[in-house]
Chain A
Amino acid sequence: MNLQMPKLADVGILCLALIYQYAQAQFAVQEIADGVYLHYGVHEQISIHNRGDISNIGFIVGDEFVAVIDTGGSRGVGESLRREIENITNLPVRYVILTHAHPDHIFGVSAFDSAMTEIVGHKNLNNSLIQRGEFYRDRFINEGFSERDLELLPQKIIVESELKLDLGNRQLNLIAVKTSHTDNDLLVLDESTKTIWTGDLLFRQRVPVIDGDVLGWLKSMEMLSVYDVNLIVPGHGLVATSWTEALADQKRYLEKLISEVRELLSAQGSIQQAVKTIAKDERDYWLLFDDHHGQNVSRVYTQLEWE
C-alpha cells in the first residue's frame, strides 16, 4: 500500500492542475449594470472540483478605482476574478469588501494582496475570522485544498454602522447589519446604478443557511425593503429587480421554520422531532435542501427554546 501512495499522489496533483486550468477557462463574469460585474457561483457544496466557487462574487468599476465584492472560496477563484478585472480595466483594485466571514466568500482574498488594496468588512468580521478561520481551513484541507488556497489578509477598514467608499465619481454605501445570517453581515449599495449586493442576507434558489439569529434576520429583511434599488444581487442565486420578488421565498421559509418550531416547543416536542418534521414541504422550493435544512431546524430550535 505504501509503495503505491506516491504514484497516487502524483495522479492527484495532476488531477488538481487540470481541474484548476479547466475551471479558470470556464470562469465568466457578466456586466449586470453599468460598471457592475457579477460572477455566479454554482449551487453545490464546496469541493476541490468547484474550487469553492459557490457564491456570487463580483466587482464595481469607478473612474479611479475598482472595488471587489467577495472573493470566492479559494485563492484560485480570487485569481480568476482578478484576471477578469484586468481584462476589463487597468484601474487598480482599491477595496476588497467581504460581505461576511463564511469561507465561500473570503478564501479568494489573497489573490488581491497588494499595497494598494484594503480589506473592508463589518466590525465583527475580524473576530469571526479569528474564531473560525482555522476551523474552515482544516475542513477545506480535508477536501483537498492547499494551504496556499486558503490564506487570509488582515482587515483594514471596519464598518461600524455605515461607511461610504469613493471609487471616483461613484459612491458605494456600506451598511453593517445587526446579527442576521451571521453576526457580521454587510450590505453594499452602488448608488449610481442602484444595485445592492446583499451578501448572504439573501439566498435565492439555494436553501438559506442560518448561522446567526433567525429572528434578527427576518427583521433585517424588513429593513432591506426601505432601500430603493433597481437590481438586487443575492449571495447565492439569481439577481432580482424587486424586493418582493427577491425576498418572497426566503421570508416564507424562515417564517415557517419559526412558527413551526414555536408550535413544537409549546407542545414540548424534542429537537429530534423538530429535525424530522419541521417545514419538510419546503423541500420542493430549494436546492441543497437536505444538506442544510436539518441543521437550520436544529439552530432555530436551540435559539427559540430560550424564548
Chain B
Amino acid sequence: MNRLNQSPLSALFYCFAFMATPALAQQTAADDAGRWENVKAAIFKQASIQEDDYSIQLEAPKRAYDAAIVPIKVNVSLENEEYVEKLYIVVDNNPAPLAATFKFRTRQSKMEIQTRIRINEYTNVRAIAQTSSGDYLMSKAFVKASGGCSAPMLSDQEAALARAGKMKFKIGESSEQLPHSSIGQILISHPNNSGMQFDQISRNYIPAYFVNQVSVRLDDKELFLLETNFSLSENPSIHFSFDLEQKPDSVISVKAIDSNNSSYENTWKIKG
C-alpha cells in the first residue's frame, strides 16, 4: 500500500478528487437557501419565522456517527405566560422535510423534546416552535451526515419485524434546563422503513412501513400528539418533559399508529 501512496499516481488521485469539489461547493450554498424557501412555503405558508436562540435551542451533532440515528434535542423557554402549541422538526434536504410535528395539549412554557432522526444528505435541521401568541421561533443546526433515509434496516431483519409495536417507557434524569420537570422516554420497536430501498430482483421499491402518529397521555389528559414519518430512526425514541402531579400513582399511556393502520397501545404506572 505504501508503494501506491508514494507513486506518481497519487498526484492523479488529487487531480481526480479536485475535479468535483469547487462546482459542488458553490452549488450547495445557493441550493440550501432555495430549498429552505420552498420547504418553508410548503409547511408554514406566509408565516414569518424568527430565529431566536434565546427562546429555543436545538442541539444536534455537527457530524453524525450514523446517518440513520442522529440524536437531536430541543429546549424551549417562553416568558409572559406564553406556551408552546406546536413544535416542528424540519430537515431541509430530506425527501420528507417535515420530520415531526408535536402538538401539545397542555400549557407548557418550558419544555424539552428529544428524538432520533434519519438524515439523507448534509443539511440544516430546524426546530420551530409555534407559540400561543402566534409567533414562530426557530433554532437551526447544520448536520453533516448522508444516506440515512435510504439506509437499510439496521440489524436483524426477522427479529425487527417480529417485535414491531413493542414499546418501552423509562423515566429519565431531569435535565439542567428543567430541574423540576420529569423526563420520560418512549421507545417504539418498529422498522420505520422509508420505502426508499430498491429491490434489484423485483425492480420495485420495498414498501414504506413507518409510525405516523403517537399520542401520549398522562392519566386522563393527552400531553401531546406527534405526527411523523420515516424521518424518525428505526425503533423511534421520544424523550419529553412533563410535570408530575403530586399523587401516588400516575399512568402514562401511549398509542401509536403506523402506515399500515396498525395501532399499538401500552400503559405504565409511574410513582409521583
Chain A residues with CB under 8 A of B170: 268
State how many angstroms separate the Cβ of A184 from the closest Cβ of chain B.
10
Q: How far is the CB of B116 from chain A (nearest CB, A)?
A: 7
Asked if A130 meets B199 with Cβ closer than 8 Å, knowing A48-B16, A294-B65, the reply is yes
Q: Contacts A133-B200, A306-B187 known; A299 to B16 CB distance under 8 Å?
A: no
Contact with B along A112-132 (1 / 0, CB 8 A): 000000000000100111111
Q: Which residues of A contact B189 (CB under 8 A)?
A: 306
- Asked if A179 lies at the interface with its beta carbon under 8 angstroms from chain B, I say yes
Whether A35 is near chain B, meaning CB under 8 Å from some CB there, is no
Complex Cα–Cα for A1 and B200 (A) = 36
Q: 1/0 per residue B54-70: CB within 8 Å of A?
A: 00000101000110010
Report if A183-B197 is in contact (Cβ < 8 Å); known contacts: A11-B16, A131-B153: no
Shortest distance from the beta carbon of A180 to any chain B beta carbon, whole Å: 10
Interface centre among B7, B65, B151 (most CB of A within 10 A): B65
C-alpha gap A260/B206 in the complex (Å) = 36
Whether A139 pairs with B65 at a CB distance below 8 angstroms is no
Contact with B along A123-152 (1 / 0, CB 8 A): 010011111111100110000100000001
Partner of A127, one of B4, B61, B157, B159: B157
Does chain B have a CB within 8 A of A163?
A: no
Contact B12 A18, beta carbon cutoff 8 Å: yes
B41 at the interface (CB under 8 A from A): no
**Of the candidates A12, A132, A272, which one forms a contact with B16 in the assembled complex, judged by CB atoms under 8 Å apart?**
A12
**Which B residue sits closest to A40, measured CB to CB?**
B1
Determine if B3 is an interface residue (Cβ-Cβ < 8 Å): yes
Residues of A within 8 A of B233 (CB): 302
> In the complex, which residues 33-75 of chain B have their Cβ closer than 8 Å to any Cβ of chain A?
59, 61, 65-66, 69, 71, 73
Contact assessment for A299 and B155 in the assembled complex, using a CB-CB cutoff below 8 Å = yes
Whether, in the assembled complex, B158 has its beta carbon less than 8 Å from a beta carbon of chain A, the answer is: yes
A204 CB → nearest B CB, Å: 16
Is A263 at the interface (CB under 8 A from chain B)?
no
In the bound complex, residues from chain A placing their C-beta under 8 Å from that of B59 are 272
Contact: A179 with B156, CB < 8 Å?
A: yes
Interface of A toward B, CB cutoff 8 Å: 1, 8-9, 11-12, 14-16, 18-19, 22-23, 26, 42, 44, 48-49, 124, 127-135, 138-139, 144, 152, 154, 179, 183, 211-213, 216, 268, 270-272, 275, 294-295, 297-299, 302-303, 305-306
- Cβ-closest 5 pairs across A and B: A294-B65, A134-B198, A179-B156, A132-B152, A15-B16
30 residue pairs from A and B, CB less than 8 Å apart:
A11-B19, A12-B16, A12-B19, A18-B12, A26-B3, A49-B9, A130-B201, A130-B202, A130-B206, A131-B152, A131-B206, A134-B198, A134-B199, A135-B147, A135-B150, A139-B147, A183-B155, A183-B157, A183-B158, A211-B155, A212-B155, A213-B159, A268-B173, A270-B71, A271-B71, A294-B65, A294-B66, A299-B154, A302-B235, A302-B237
B residues near A (Cβ < 8 Å) are: 1, 3-4, 7, 9, 12-13, 15-16, 19, 23, 59, 61, 65-66, 69, 71, 73, 114, 116, 147, 150-159, 168, 170, 172-173, 187, 189, 197-202, 206, 233, 235, 237
